[in-house]
Amino acid sequence: MDSSNSPTTKPLFRGTQIVWYIVGLLEAILAFRFVLKLLGANASAGFTSFIYGISQPFAAPFLNVFKITKVEGSVLEWTTLLAMLVYWLVAIAIVKLFLMGKTVSTPEAAVKLDNQDK
């Protein structure tokens, strides 16, 4: 059976698209947080407040990992960069997990197993 015509291929593709879309949004929000903190943005400004509020639940698990570097109103929040890396790695793991459900032919599986042995 050709795996490109498998009934599971389209849902797997759509699932991976959804994962990357969600992670892309999360990464963008965390990147905005990082830049706003770095540039010393006014926390009471509407956009800044919105970004800090929406990113807080995603950044919170990492906030005590490293010390925050402060220089004259600017904050270098290493923990936000760590959060971005961790969420990106989690996305890769989820996509790999999805791809394990992909239908493969016996010859295709044999080739992939042979390549893993090298």
**Which two three-digit tokens encode residue 33?**
């947080």
Two tokens, residue 59: 């950044």
In residues, how long is the chain? 118
pLDDT of residue 115: 82
For the stretch 74-105, pLDDT in tens is 999 999 999 999 999 999 999 999 888 777 77
Check residue 54 and give its pLDDT: 98
Q: What are phi and psi of 56, to 5 degrees?
A: -55, -50
* Mean pLDDT over the full length of the chain: 89
Q: How far is 114 from 4, CA to CA, in rounded Å?
A: 21
pLDDT band at 4 (very low <50, low <70, confident <90, very high): low
28-43 pLDDT tens trace: 999 999 999 999 999 9
